[in-house]
Homo-oligomer: A and B are copies of this chain.
């Protein structure tokens, strides 16, 4: 296929494979360390939507993210997170949409908060369905790994994303849609 000038993307994602990741979904209080979600082996996906993005792009995004051979299997072969099978941690990350201006970042291209929240919530739902259905041929209760159910976890849109990441080599990928 001939190279053509890429149009501005509607969504930007950064993927990192992990052996474990923890994300704070409720800020710490005076007497608590907040609420955290956690995944074991799988993939962390940072997500940012741009102006003009609609629900239309979501099925294509989910299909690409779930089927991309970006995870190392036990034998070192690259497989999709579906085939691993692994879990997914979705992290809203508006900073990914920034453009440098001088020493600062500007976010004029980012989607508005309400639209972004709606798309992000729908993305989480579709990833859950995809992960469940994609390995449905296996056990009836859904895919498992090392005796634990694989799952989709996610951060709270608009919040600070306090993240702790443990990798065996993140193999960072950039995917735009």
Q: Which residue of B lies closest to A3 (CB)?
A: B8
- Number of A residues with CB within 8 Å of any CB on chain B: 36
Q: Give Cα A162 to B174, complex, Å.
A: 19
Q: Nearest Cβ distance between residue A154 and chain B, in whole angstroms?
A: 15
With A172-B14, A172-B46, A172-B95 known as contacts, the answer to whether A100 contacts B163 (CB < 8 A) is no
Q: Give Cα A64 to B95, complex, Å.
A: 16
In this assembly, does A173 line the interface, its C-beta being within 8 Å of a C-beta of chain B?
A: yes
With A69-B105, A95-B173, A174-B174 known as contacts, the answer to whether A165 contacts B163 (CB < 8 A) is yes
Q: Please indicate the chain B residues that have their CB under 8 angstroms from the CB of A160 in the complex.
A: 168-169
9 nearest A-B residue pairs (beta carbon): A165-B165, A160-B169, A5-B5, A95-B171, A67-B103, A163-B167, A93-B172, A46-B172, A161-B169
